[in-house]
Amino acid sequence: MKRIVILISGRGSNMRALFEARLPGKIVAVISNNPVAPGLHYARQQGTEIRIINHRDFADRDAFDTALANEVNSFAPDLVVLAGFMRILTEAFVLRFAGRILNIHPSLLPAFPGVNTHQRALDEGVRLHGCTVHFVTTALDHGPIVIQAAVPVLPEDDEAALAARVLEQEHHIFPLAARWFLDDRITLQDGRVRIDSTLRFPKAVISPNGQN
C-alpha cells in the first residue's frame, strides 16, 4: 500500500477531506510547522503519527527545510501532500521529492498565484474563480496542473462567500487528484500531466450561462 505524508499549518480542512475520502493508500504521518495548528487534533483522533517541525526553531529557511525533508523522508512516502502548508519550500526540498508532491491552490492557476486570491479575483471582476491541484516545482504555484474546479463569481459575493464556495470544491478535487496519483492514473511527461484516457469529464463550464 502506498504511503502518504500530509503537511499542514492550520485548521487542516483539506487534510480532513483526504482522510474522509478513504484513499487507496495509508496516511502514515501528518507534519506541521505550527505546534498549535488546529488540524493536529483531528489527525491525532485518526491515530496517525504526528510530527511538529516548528520553523521558528531554525535560523533560516534552508535549515528548516532540511529538517522537514529528513522527517518526511523518514516515513518513506510515495506521496507528499501540502494541505494548507503555509511555507514556501526550498529548491532542495522540492527536488528531493520531485514528482511526488501535490498542492492545492485557491485559484485557477496560472491566474492569481500567491496569497489573497479571492479578493484579487473580485477586484479583477472575473466571472469564474476556483481552485487547482498541481505538482509542486521550484516555481511557486506554477507546477504541472492535475485538476481544477471552477465556481461562478456572483454579483453579491464578498471575499468570505467566494472563499467558502471555492473551499467546497477544494475538498472535492484534492482527494480525487490524490486518488488518481495513488492509482497510477496520472503521469508527468515533459512538464505536463497526462491523465488516463478512460476518465471522463464535462465538456464545458460557462458563467454566466444565459439561463433565466
**Catalytically annotated residues:** 105
Report CA 96 to chain centroid distance, whole Å.
18
Q: At what angle do helices 117-124 and 159-182 cross, to 10 degrees?
A: 120
**What cell was used for 139?**
516555481
* Closest to 117 in 3D by CA, of 105, 99, 128: 105
- Measured over the CA atoms of residue 188, residue 103, residue 206 and residue 169, the dihedral's sign is positive
What DSSP assignment string belongs to 125-155? T-SEEEEEEEE--SSTT-SPEEEEEEEE--T
